[in-house]
Structure 1
Amino acid sequence: MQNQEITEKFRQLVENKFQIYNSLFMSLPYDKMTNIGMLLPFLYEESKSGYENGKSPDEIVEEFFAKHTELKTEEQKCELLFKIIQYIERQVVLFDSIEDAAFSQLHSESDAGTLFQLHERALQEHQLESTRKKLKDFGVKVVFTAHPTQFYPNSVQRILHDLRSAIMSDSVTEIDMLLQQLGKTPFVNKEKPTPLDEAMSIIFYLRYVYYDTIGELYKKLKNAFGTAGFSPHPDVVQLGFWPGGDRDGNPFVTAEITRKVADELRSSILKSYYEHLKNVRRRLSFRGVSEVLESLSHDLYDAIFKEGTVISSKQILTKINEAEKILTEQHNGLFKNILDDFRDRLQIFGTHFATLDIRQDSRVHQKSIDEIILKKANFNQENISTEEKLKWLLETETIISPHDFEGITKDTLQTVLNIKDIQQKNGERGMHRYIISNSDGIKDVLNVYGFFRLSGYKEEEINIDIVPLFETIEGLDNAENVMRQLYELPIYRKHLERRGNGQTIMLGFSDGTKDGGYLKANWEIYETKEKLTKVSEEYGIKVVFFDGRGGPPARGGGKTHDFYASQGKTIANNKIEITIQGQTITSVFGNKEQAKYNFEQLLTAGIENDVFKNSRKDLTDKERELIQELAEISFHKYSDLKHHPMFVPYLQEMSTLEYYGRTNIGSRPTKRGAGSELKFEDLRAIPFVGSWAQLKQNVPGFFGFGFALKKLKDEGRFAEVIDLYRGSDFFKTLVLNSMMSMNKSYFPLTSYMKDNPKFGAFWNILHDEYQLSIEMMLELTGFKMLQEEEPLSRKSVKIREKIVLPLLSIQQYALIKIQKDEGNREVYEKLVTRSLFGNINASRNSA
């Protein structure tokens, strides 16, 4: 579809419908909210014209009260603002549902990046055989994390699900009823969710979205590329799972929680099979076949509901094969395709549904190892070197019990012991990775190997991939050296041989951006992948890169297909693994149509890279030097900002950073350190990036980029950068993703800060770089506006920004009141927190 045509379609299917259904809100019997629908447009108009005329948020809100209400007391005014927030939160849900419902009409099978398009291209270019070859051992893995970037309570999530269906069938009566339910359903968790709550929230998607989506996608792949001798590997699309296994900085994730989540995952997939089997049995009602399937149904029921009953994939498969044999021999294979589909699901999901990963910080491991050595090793001297610790760890025959220790050491050892049990029940695919965040030396990987040996595992029993996560700029710089040392170490080399000579390496984008800025982090990860590819090939190791990339471009998200499709031959392309969380789950993989489309986009990006030639993917030496130069210039600019004495105080005093922990949307604390003083290194990437987004400044997504472009322009070298943009897909994707960050920025909201005696100069630094970056990127791309080539994303952003503008005014108004300290602090802090929650949910299209 052409841009104009697709924009018109969006207007009809999304904008117009939103106007119509939004009007239903007016007549809903909300508690004390009857006149909000009338007042809200006034607050929007006051905000829009106010910011255009340089007014501050507190002036705008006070004018709104004076002109459009008769409220006199502070209490009455705050009560109205709370009601407006509640109203806007529900408008956001309505808009989400309408946009989701329109997805399949706004995207088609012939779009770039779909399986259909891949098949057509492979056919035309005579590459069907090489595509099949790539499909033999290629796959994508999407790993769900519990990072708090958007969590509606489960009750709201289910309404969203139903509302989308009602909108698709244009059932006004049902929509009306669901909007009424929405009006009376709380949007805020009374308490923080536990890690188990977070797991259950995502398991909802596994059962009601991904079970069918991935099953249908696999069938589609088989139909498109399968032949008599070839069927795609059932692991071609996999799911990973962090809630309940990711204990990095989350004291609430314990060995017991991990075990419970593993049980829930197993129970959920068995329930999905049990439901699916009902449909299979409706068709396969033939003598002999129906008895076998009935027996399987009883076995599944017992495994779900009878304590201590375990069923393996092998047992289920045996019954399916038995049924198929009778079906073929006695009933002409009638409806065999239905049984095949059921078997495919079993081979895809096993008894695990999604792979539960364990993750912990290397520094926590080191403390535990030190404690174990102190208690169990017979060292005389106090200052034991790292080498001596490792030597003891890898050579000792000591076996220890978790009960010999307390706290985190006890829990870590118990977790390691439980892995064997979880693998027995959920299958090895259910848990086979231990990820170590903040990795920067071989000790970090070997400490984990040591935990297994200390826990009594024989070497051949360690059926776990140990995955270092390199995330800071320093960690990324050390990565090649660390992996070389590990590959040369006989004990680790033997472990890798037992794991099929494969090594997964995780690279964290978020902390890289926080540490080095947007351009530097992107380039650093690209180069690190190249070096790690080279060193792994040198040692005959098949390396898989697992990217910790979030929703917005500042956390490595954005145009994911373009990002992966732009990686050239110098980066290993054995598998695409990516983390998704919060708003990315709901906005990119939230329903069957979206999920299928976006899984296809990832899959085809990886396949195209190897199968089709494209010179724009491979960087020339000249292009490399230029990106390196731009990355260094922007890094210095960002570093100056990061070391500015007002950087942390600005976030602490002028943003919503300190309120993230109060939103009750995630179980994990918002910073790593325990002290009250806020240090830059303790800031978690999500509250860090999220706070900039709440300020509508999105600094981590562009800062330093414009400055770097301008420097080259001043040197008379801008033509080189234009050539780079036109010649390199990788660089083009970086530019377009950065534009997305800037398009979601709105500096007039905070322009009142330019007169602040403490922060005025700092605000101006941010604003100047924002203006410069827009100017330089428009000149570079030849666009007349940001995101010119992405009409859908641009329109969606525009409407969402319109919905939340009053919310942003309220948030800033409350922050200003707190800064002025005029009393009622508690009430204003609640206003900030509630508006923060609404904004987080509304910004889903930052993914």
Structure 2
Amino acid sequence: MLNDQKIEKFRQIVENKFQIYNSLFMSLPYDKMTNIGMLLPFLAEESKEGYQQGKSPEEIVEEFFQKHTELETEDQKLELLFKIIQYIERQVVLFDSIEDAAFQKLHSESDPGTVLNLYDRANQEHHLAAIRKKMDDFAIKIVFTAHPTQFYPNAVQRIIHDLRDAIINDSVTQIDTLLQQLGKTPFVNKEKPTPLDEAMSIIYYLRYVYYQSIGELYKKIKQTFGTSNFTPNPDIIQLGFWPGGDRDGNPFVTADITLKVAEELRISILKDYYGHLKVVRRRLSFRGVSDILKAVSQRIYDAIFQEGVKVSAEEIITELNKAEKILVEEHNGLFLDVLDDFRDRVRIFGTHFATLDIRQDSRIHQNVINDIYKKVIDEDIDSKTNDEKIQLLLDSGAVLNPDDFEDDMTKETLKSIYNIKLIQKNNGERGLHRYIISNSDEVKDVMNVYVMMRLCGYSEEEINIDIVPLFETMEGLDKSEQVMQTLYNDKIYQKHLDKRNRKQVIMLGFSDGTKDGGYLKANWQIYTSKEKLTKVSEDNDIKVIFFDGRGGPPARGGGKTHDFYASQGKTIANNKIELTIQGQTITSVFGNKDQAKFNFEQLLTAGIENDAFKSSKKELNEKERVLISELADISYRKYSDLKAHPMFVPYLQEMSTLEYYGRANIGSRPSKRGAGSELKFEDLRAIPFVGSWAQLRQNVPGFFGFGSALKDLKDAGRFDEIKELYKGSDFFKTLVLNSMMSMNKTYFPLTYYMRNNKKFGEFWNILFSEFELSKAMMLELTGYNILMQEEPINRKSIRIREKIVLPLLSIQQYALIKIQKEEGNRERYEKLVMRSLFGNINASRNSA
């Protein structure tokens, strides 16, 4: 009944509004877009009916031209398709804005997973003391990355922001004007964004969304759980930042860029403080208090605009404490809550706003270490073990000058390490305190970073940095326990851990893990690796914090984040929930104040619930473990066979948009690691890899192998065991539902034409058969009649979005077919693919 009410409300405030405001498009004076609103429904209908009849995208688009236009030349037809893409992109923005505007009406303050819901439940079950204790030493951290899964230009972002507000207020005149602005504002970057551009794009959200949403959420937590002897830790919600610091595979991120981004973060938070202080001073106009606040305001202003002037969070808080003393003693504490709210923001955001991380690939580090070794030790490098090389370099006492090296990467790496001290001085230690090493699978990967810091003149006491291995391949995950055990036993590293309060951050790569091992195997491997890493850390008296490199969609380790973290049992350390967020997940999950606040709450309560409330469904017994392991292994074999198929990489190269990701100006980072021209599977970035499957509407990494695993056990007469597992394990249930979400965004009729392709027909049929099998098996397992049966609103949202972009997909496939056939103007068709790629990326906010 409740679901029915929510569906009806969604229909009224989302679907109906979209129909009404969408009609405004038809009369807008868009340049070169006259009559598109009239023609688009015909292409949409031709696509819908054509695919049901088994027609190819080429047939559908050509029939559309023939039936509904009088265009004759190729140029005229291509011009129309470009206009249609522009039109659909703006429809997507409108739908996003309407859905965002409806968020508050579709969710309540006491929904499951909210702070108020947690309090009520804890109160009823007498767990308030346990929750306050957990809050004292727990945090969530969202780390924003610039990975190119969405990149609206800043001008478009601002229109989206304003459009959402206009829709909330039902201001038709304002909506009409903003839609006109949207029609005349370019959606495509003429040039690739720089890492600084990407940083500024996300800093926009920090300033105009997260400063308010996190501040208000902390106030809510304080009011709900605070007592006279308990104040929640202001550090309970944290932000991390990768643009400008993530050098892995991105040659455009330099040491100078990292400095610039750190400075932008510092100045941005001070600007927010300066603006907030204006509001505070308007209320606190009392003698003594106003003078202090005026001086603080001036000090912040000088730190923003005068070079060399810095202000620390501690200095600001000291002055605010003086103001509070006068306020309480002389003015009856009037508006103390206003001062308190501002001071809490300073405690939360410091002078860093978000913590900048440095990340680089372990193989790059090894090259740098070899370069250093040749210069400093000048011996045969191949005659020494890694341990010997490390010890010789540490014993050398050398202090390196980056400019003494010829290799650019060595120079840049060393400069980045020297910059750490400067950033910590300007932004505070919270401003940059982690160095992440991608593709970690050996002890030397961690020790190389330690050695480089020592060679850059840092004493043991001065290394105020967490060195974070990132285990992301199946091999890396397999080795992770042994690597950490060896590190914990290493005398040099032990000293470093003592300095870091015996805390170790370990990052696990869901995106690359899923790409490498398939959906089920990757998630199970990471789960069991976390268990082993928890045990080895606890055995060595180390507090371990897991940092998850999760993408938005299930195919990149994403999906239902709250359910995923709420399903982890006592065998996995739960000291902090930390994960990466990027692209469309930033805009769709954390894109405005209401959504951000709600989703921060969901994460926070997921972690706290795990310790406070016991549930047998969170713990896996031995029988369940054996069963999941068996399913994961079968799934892995099936997925590995697919990867080994000789057509796997050629299929992606020739039949998908993979080759065009690097050419579309959506991100600064190249779409593959390595500089060679030959495309190798291991060099593929997870985002273009998963994105290409999503553009084909095949979403292979999100389900492939899962159905075969279920079928094998069913054929062995063991399906009842899996049903029991699904009912008894929250973790397994979450994996099943997330995989179903991937399949719900799959549409194989788009590529039916490939089944008869001489080169790729057999491969396409392998993909299609596994999809059909996985869908049938999961429906049987869950007892559902349709995918995502218990999530009607999400299902409806996806359905509307897919309906909007179906013509866009037809155009993209049409262009790819023309390129494959070598027909017509190749350059124009390639531009059409890239243009539709950009549109589809921005459209797929809840992509698979």
TM range (shorter): over 0.9
Aligned-partner SS, 2:846: helix
Partner of 1:95: 95
In 2, Cα distance between the equivalents of 1:323 and 1:3? 51
1:192-203 equivalent positions in 2, closer than 5 A: 192-203=192-203
Partner of 1:300: 300
In 2, Cα distance between the equivalents of 1:395 and 1:5? 71
Measured at CA, do residues 648 and 320 of structure 1 come closer, stay the same or move farther in structure 2, by a change above 3 Å? same
In 2, Cα distance between the equivalents of 1:676 and 1:383? 33
Partner of 1:356: 356
Measured at CA, do residues 262 and 483 of structure 1 come closer, stay the same or move farther in structure 2, by a change above 3 Å? same
In 2, Cα distance between the equivalents of 1:628 and 1:298? 61
Aligned-partner SS, 1:457: coil
**TM-aligned CA deviation for residue 389 of structure 1:** 1.1
Partner of 1:754: 755
Partner of 2:830: 829
Partner of 2:27: 27
Aligned-partner SS, 2:845: helix
In 2, Cα distance between the equivalents of 1:423 and 1:675? 37
Partner of 2:9: 9
**2:125 counterpart letter in structure 1:** E
Partner of 2:326: 326
**Gap runs ≥5 in structure 2:** none
Partner of 1:243: 243
Partner of 2:371: 371
Partner of 2:409: 408
Partner of 2:458: 457
Aligned residues: 847
Partner of 1:417: 418
Q: In 2, are the aligned partners of 1:558 and 1:846 still within 8 Å (CA)?
A: no
In 2, Cα distance between the equivalents of 1:522 and 1:846? 19
**1:626 counterpart letter in structure 2:** L
**TM-aligned CA deviation for residue 381 of structure 1:** 6.3
Partner of 1:679: 680
In 2, Cα distance between the equivalents of 1:742 and 1:550? 17
**TM-aligned CA deviation for residue 380 of structure 1:** 4.8
In 2, Cα distance between the equivalents of 1:557 and 1:14? 25
Q: In 2, are the aligned partners of 1:203 and 1:268 still within 8 Å (CA)?
A: yes
Q: In 2, are the aligned partners of 1:393 and 1:447 still within 8 Å (CA)?
A: no
Aligned-partner SS, 1:285: coil
Q: In 2, are the aligned partners of 1:704 and 1:769 still within 8 Å (CA)?
A: yes
Q: What is the TM-score of this pair, normalised by structure 1? A: 0.99
In 1, Cα distance between the equivalents of 2:294 and 2:178? 38
Partner of 1:796: 797
**1:614 counterpart letter in structure 2:** S
Aligned-partner SS, 2:717: coil
Measured at CA, do residues 577 and 340 of structure 1 come closer, stay the same or move farther in structure 2, by a change above 3 Å? same
**TM-aligned CA deviation for residue 222 of structure 1:** 0.4
**TM-aligned CA deviation for residue 335 of structure 1:** 0.4
Partner of 1:220: 220
**TM-aligned CA deviation for residue 315 of structure 1:** 1.2
**TM-aligned CA deviation for residue 285 of structure 1:** 0.3
Q: In 1, are the aligned partners of 2:553 and 2:559 still within 8 Å (CA)?
A: yes
Measured at CA, do residues 778 and 288 of structure 1 come closer, stay the same or move farther in structure 2, by a change above 3 Å? same
1:122-137 equivalent positions in 2, closer than 5 A: 122-137=122-137
In 2, Cα distance between the equivalents of 1:466 and 1:77? 55
Q: In 2, are the aligned partners of 1:355 and 1:432 still within 8 Å (CA)?
A: yes
**TM-aligned CA deviation for residue 308 of structure 1:** 1.0
In 2, Cα distance between the equivalents of 1:378 and 1:692? 49
Partner of 1:526: 527
Cα shift readout 1:784-841 (whole Å, capped 9, x = no counterpart): 1000011111001000000000000000000000000013000000000000111111
Q: In 2, are the aligned partners of 1:698 and 1:741 still within 8 Å (CA)?
A: yes
Cα shift readout 1:604-644 (whole Å, capped 9, x = no counterpart): 00000000000000000000000000000000000000000
Partner of 1:188: 188
Partner of 2:633: 632
In 1, Cα distance between the equivalents of 2:108 and 2:719? 38
1:536-615 equivalent positions in 2, closer than 5 A: 536-615=537-616
Q: In 1, are the aligned partners of 2:376 and 2:393 still within 8 Å (CA)?
A: no
Aligned-partner SS, 1:638: helix
1:337-352 equivalent positions in 2, closer than 5 A: 337-352=337-352
Q: In 2, are the aligned partners of 1:114 and 1:600 still within 8 Å (CA)?
A: yes
Aligned-partner SS, 1:662: coil
**1:114 counterpart letter in structure 2:** T
**2:459 counterpart letter in structure 1:** K
Partner of 2:738: 737
**TM-aligned CA deviation for residue 108 of structure 1:** 1.1
**2:798 counterpart letter in structure 1:** V
Cα shift readout 1:74-132 (whole Å, capped 9, x = no counterpart): 00000000000000000000000000000011111221111111000000000000000
1:646-665 equivalent positions in 2, closer than 5 A: 646-665=647-666
Aligned-partner SS, 2:616: coil
**2:314 counterpart letter in structure 1:** K
Measured at CA, do residues 381 and 580 of structure 1 come closer, stay the same or move farther in structure 2, by a change above 3 Å? closer
Partner of 1:391: 391
In 2, Cα distance between the equivalents of 1:695 and 1:330? 68
In 2, Cα distance between the equivalents of 1:317 and 1:656? 52
In 1, Cα distance between the equivalents of 2:538 and 2:361? 28
**Gap runs ≥5 in structure 1:** none
Q: In 2, are the aligned partners of 1:502 and 1:544 still within 8 Å (CA)?
A: yes
In 1, Cα distance between the equivalents of 2:5 and 2:768? 35
**TM-aligned CA deviation for residue 382 of structure 1:** 4.8
**2:757 counterpart letter in structure 1:** N
In 2, Cα distance between the equivalents of 1:566 and 1:339? 39
**1:651 counterpart letter in structure 2:** L
In 1, Cα distance between the equivalents of 2:403 and 2:545? 36
In 1, Cα distance between the equivalents of 2:549 and 2:727? 28
Partner of 1:845: 846
The percentage of aligned residue pairs carrying the same residue is: 76
**TM-aligned CA deviation for residue 321 of structure 1:** 1.0
Partner of 2:80: 80
In 1, Cα distance between the equivalents of 2:354 and 2:756? 52
In 1, Cα distance between the equivalents of 2:93 and 2:597? 22
In 2, Cα distance between the equivalents of 1:662 and 1:163? 30
In 2, Cα distance between the equivalents of 1:777 and 1:633? 16
Q: In 2, are the aligned partners of 1:471 and 1:508 still within 8 Å (CA)?
A: yes
**1:716 counterpart letter in structure 2:** G
Q: In 1, are the aligned partners of 2:377 and 2:393 still within 8 Å (CA)?
A: no
In 1, Cα distance between the equivalents of 2:677 and 2:543? 44
Partner of 2:141: 141
Cα shift readout 1:550-600 (whole Å, capped 9, x = no counterpart): 011000111000000000000000000000000000000000000000000
Partner of 2:692: 691
Q: In 1, are the aligned partners of 2:394 and 2:455 still within 8 Å (CA)?
A: no
Aligned-partner SS, 2:713: helix
**TM-aligned CA deviation for residue 396 of structure 1:** 2.6
Partner of 1:508: 509
**TM-aligned CA deviation for residue 268 of structure 1:** 0.2
**2:292 counterpart letter in structure 1:** V
**1:201 counterpart letter in structure 2:** S
In 1, Cα distance between the equivalents of 2:57 and 2:384? 58
Aligned-partner SS, 2:617: coil
In 2, Cα distance between the equivalents of 1:517 and 1:401? 44
Q: In 1, are the aligned partners of 2:418 and 2:456 still within 8 Å (CA)?
A: yes
Aligned-partner SS, 2:469: strand
1:304-315 equivalent positions in 2, closer than 5 A: 304-315=304-315
Q: What is the TM-score of this pair, normalised by structure 2? A: 0.99
Measured at CA, do residues 755 and 499 of structure 1 come closer, stay the same or move farther in structure 2, by a change above 3 Å? same
